[in-house]
């Protein structure tokens, strides 16, 4: 009983040190940084402010920043407004996205427009007009057909006739797009060509779930063995883990993950850490900073929305991230992220030399190979299993019998 007053005193003292909720009146003259500092004190607004602070920390602490992006974000132009500027400032080190985002980005490059449409206009009528709809965005069906021909032509090139991973594939596609954009005199660059020029590896975890791969399927059926292009998914997963391990051993030794949405890109990036630590027994601490923007609820067991604490139990996120380096911003990416990028890039200090991790892939794989070689003897013991290892549980006790006279 004597400790209760002391405990109460400590709580009150801690509360008194907490930030006061006392925002200033908005005048319209504030900079983005000033507005975020004082006008977002609570609820999702506070989540935004904290997420922004962690984004700034990621750069100021020189973290290797792994950005993941799911959903139809390139049709919405988020890459043009946000992702490409972040890459050009050297902020994004690695990108994991969907094949669809890379495919739909190509429409604009070859002269097709993506326009705003009324989502309630009627899908039967839109189909008759051959207009493809993504909620409130639309484009001609011809955009798909022309883009298919573009990728089919590029995928047949000699430099792509080999077994490769998705970062290697997208580097070659980016090189081809860079040349096409230069020839066309394009003022706006694609995400593929930008990542190529700045050395940002692009991973696609479910590569078969996208139209670029559908065109590989077409080519394989039409050309047979003439098409040598193959995606090595085993090496793909290994390269993600190898890059994370290399970044941890080099650079600032800190990792940050910025998650736009959820889906496969989120877990594909995060699973590199448990692959290292649990599968290969190579020590890994998990990401140091975790910022996610997603509308999904956190209580339905969906992986897309799982918070950092849950990820920590899997070894994906560090204890430091859970305690002071994580924020789940419960909002639509398109409603908030452009505003935060604006605030971030308004600070001239938020810029650095690109890490060019695509160039580090061979070195990263070699470094991880060496770490695994040192553990090979013990790892070989994990390849066997016997049914005899299953513990023999005693039968549950019988239910008590009830006798009725």
Task: Give domain status of residue 3, yes or no.
Answer: no
Which residues, given as ranges, of the chain have pLDDT below 70? 1-3, 394-405
pLDDT at position 3, please? Answer: 56
Task: Give domain status of residue 7, yes or no.
Answer: no
pLDDT at position 402, please? Answer: 52
Closest to 264 (Cα-Cα) out of 290, 291, 237, 229? 237
pLDDT at position 253, please? Answer: 87
pLDDT at position 405, please? Answer: 39
CA distances from residue 156 to 100, 152, 161 in whole angstroms, order as listed: 20, 6, 7
Domain coverage including residue 199: 31-109+144-375
Reading the block at residue 364, the tokens are 């990263």
Task: Give domain status of residue 119, yes or no.
Answer: no
Reading the block at residue 52, the tokens are 């922004």
How many domains does the chain contain in total? 1
Pairwise CA distance, residues 92 & 64, whole Å: 8
Task: Give domain status of residue 198, yes or no.
Answer: yes
Token pair 């890994």 is at which residue?
284
Q: With contact defined as beta carbons under 8 Å apart, do 167 and 161 qualify?
A: no
Backbone angles phi, psi at 20, to 5 degrees: -80, 135
Closest to 190 (Cα-Cα) out of 175, 211, 210? 175
Task: Give domain status of residue 132, yes or no.
Answer: no
pLDDT at position 194, please? Answer: 98
Task: Give domain status of residue 118, yes or no.
Answer: no
Pairwise CA distance, residues 139 & 228, whole Å: 33
Nearest-5° Cα angle at 328, 323 to 333:
150
Strand partners, 97: 204
Q: What is the DSSP letter of 157?
A: S
Pairwise CA distance, residues 95 & 257, whole Å: 10
Put residue 261 in one of left, alpha, beta given phi > 0 → left and psi -120 to 50 → alpha. left
Task: Give domain status of residue 304, yes or no.
Answer: yes
Token pair 């573009």 is at which residue?
150
Task: Give domain status of residue 263, yes or no.
Answer: yes
Domain at 153, CATH number: 3.40.910.10
Pairwise CA distance, residues 45 & 157, whole Å: 49
């Amino acid at each position: 009983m004597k400790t209760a007053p002391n405990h109460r005193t400590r709580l009150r003292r801690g509360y008194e040190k907490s930030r006061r909720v006392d925002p200033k009146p908005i005048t319209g003259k504030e900079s983005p940084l000033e507005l975020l500092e004082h006008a977002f004190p609570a609820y999702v607004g506070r989540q935004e402010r904290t997420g922004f602070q962690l984004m700034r920390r990621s750069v100021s602490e020189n973290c290797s920043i792994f950005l993941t992006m799911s959903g139809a974000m390139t049709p919405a132009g988020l890459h043009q407004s946000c992702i490409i500027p972040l890459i050009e400032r050297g902020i994004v080190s690695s990108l994991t996205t969907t094949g669809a985002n890379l495919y739909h980005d190509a429409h604009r490059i070859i002269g097709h427009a993506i326009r705003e449409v009324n989502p309630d206009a009627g899908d039967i009528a839109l189909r008759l007009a051959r207009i493809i709809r993504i909620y409130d965005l639309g484009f001609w069906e011809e955009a798909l057909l022309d883009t298919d021909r573009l990728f089919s032509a590029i995928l047949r090139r000699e430099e792509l006739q080999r077994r490769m991973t998705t970062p290697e594939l997208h580097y070659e596609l980016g090189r081809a797009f860079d040349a096409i954009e230069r020839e066309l005199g394009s003022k706006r660059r694609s995400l593929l060509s930008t990542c190529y020029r700045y050395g940002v590896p692009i991973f696609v975890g479910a590569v078969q779930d996208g139209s670029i791969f559908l065109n590989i399927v077409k080519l394989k059926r039409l050309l047979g063995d003439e098409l040598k292009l193959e995606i090595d998914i085993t090496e793909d997963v290994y390269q993600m883990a190898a890059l994370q391990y290399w970044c941890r051993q080099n650079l600032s030794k800190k990792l940050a993950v910025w998650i736009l949405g959820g889906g496969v890109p989120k877990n594909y990036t995060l699973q590199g850490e448990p692959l290292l630590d649990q599968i290969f027994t190579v020590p890994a601490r998990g990401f140091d900073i975790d910022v996610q923007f997603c509308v999904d609820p956190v209580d339905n067991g969906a992986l897309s929305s799982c918070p950092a604490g849950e990820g920590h139990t899997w070894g994906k996120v560090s204890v430091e991230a859970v305690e002071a380096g994580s924020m789940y911003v419960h909002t639509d990416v398109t409603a908030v992220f452009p505003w935060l990028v604006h605030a971030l890039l308004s600070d001239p200090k938020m810029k650095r030399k690109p890490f060019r991790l695509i160039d580090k892939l061979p070195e990263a794989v070699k470094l991880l190979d060496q770490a695994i070689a040192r553990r090979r003897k013990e790892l070989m013991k994990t390849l066997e299993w016997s049914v005899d290892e299953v513990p023999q549980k005693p039968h549950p006790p019988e239910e008590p019998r009830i006798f009725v006279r």
